[in-house]
Amino acid sequence: MSVGERVTGYNEEQLGELLSALPPAPDAWVQAATELPLARQRLEEIVERAKADERYRRQVVAYPEAALEQAEVVAHAQNVEIIRRRLDDK
């Protein structure tokens, strides 16, 4: 039985229960995920600048969180890891 077939068999109370099962994720989480393309673009800019400027590269490697915050990118673990990985490639 497909999902479509199952849901048509429900009464209004059951529909309400199914709607209740999907509360919204916290706004900040959704916003961070929504801004991923912009964040990735800014990460690229940091990496490109670091590759062209050795002094800046050392700063970023030492304090990646600060570089991310300066670029207005959320400094969560995954973004820090991306920066480290990309600059280790050099």
Q: Contacting other proteins (CB under 8 A), which of 58, 76, 84, 85? A: 76
| Kind plus residue range of the DSSP H or E element containing 19 | helix 12-20
Instruction: Kindly state whether residue 5 participates in binding other proteins, applying the rule CB under 8 A.
Output: yes
Which of the residues 51 through 70 are near other proteins (CB under 8 A)? none
Q: How far apart are CA 65 and CA 75, in angstroms?
A: 5
Instruction: Kindly state whether residue 77 participates in binding other proteins, applying the rule CB under 8 A.
Output: yes
Q: Which is nearer to other proteins, 26 or 88 (CB)?
A: 26
- CB-based contacts of 1: which residues, under 8 Å, 6+ apart? none
Tell me the three state secondary structure of residue 79: helix
- CB-based contacts of 7: which residues, under 8 Å, 6+ apart? 15, 18
Q: Which is nearer to other proteins, 9 or 89 (CB)?
A: 9
Site residues for other proteins per CB under 8 A: 3-12, 15-16, 18-26, 29-30, 32-34, 36-38, 40, 76-78
